[in-house]
Amino acid sequence: MRQARILLWALVGLAIAGAVLLILRAGPALTPQDSSPTQASFGGPFTLIGGNGKPFSSQALEGKPYAIYFGFTRCGDVCPTTLSRLAKLRREAGGEQAFHIVFVTIDPAYDGPKQVGQYAQLFGSPIIGLTGSQAQIDQVKKQYGIFAQPTPHAAMGKEMEHTATVLLFDRSGKFVATVTPDEADSSALAKLKSLVSA
């Protein structure tokens, strides 16, 4: 009986170890609720399309910290609230030139260069709006561990369920922190001031 119990626990341990390995191999991915990526390897080089219709390389972000947010222009609440809040906090953290704010659409079928360009101008503060082909967007979502999935919506036809977390990167492009939707402004501002002063 004791041997059977030991064997059973050994099998459970192997199953757990196997599951952990599968998760690690799959790489980081934030769910809409998750806001704590733990790997400093998030991010990486990319080329997308700017609001002017021209290619935009992540090299243009080098030398200045940036906050990147993935959303879509028809988002009813979370996206505009998040970008408005970021713009306000940036002014408090050092002014509009303190760090870049980057908005990447997760709905490139609807959000072309014109749409992301116009959307980025709605917040009264410099925001870089980016789109691209579905393949380009999928690649960047993977690099940044972003979850996004269309769901039915009565009025719009579809809604996009997605990660609502802002990812913060330092001047060298290294992932350093997150800002979550439910985080107090005082906490978010402290992170942004630290980002700017580093």
- Give the mean pLDDT of 183-194: 96
Question: Beta strand pairing status for 175-179 and 166-169?
Answer: antiparallel
Write out pLDDT tens, residues 97-155. 999 999 999 999 999 999 999 999 999 999 999 999 999 999 999 999 998 887 766 56
By the 8 A CB rule, do 130 and 116 touch?
Answer: yes
- Domain 31-197: give its CATH architecture: 3-Layer(aba) Sandwich (3.40)
By the 8 A CB rule, do 105 and 51 touch?
Answer: no
Write out pLDDT tens, residues 77-89. 899 999 999 999 9
Locate the domains of the chain by residue range: 1-28, 31-197
pLDDT at residue 198, rounded to an integer: 84
Q: Which of 133, 147, 194, 169 is nearest to 45 (CA)?
A: 169
Residues forming a β-bridge with 112:
none
Sign of CA dihedral 105, 114, 51, 101: negative
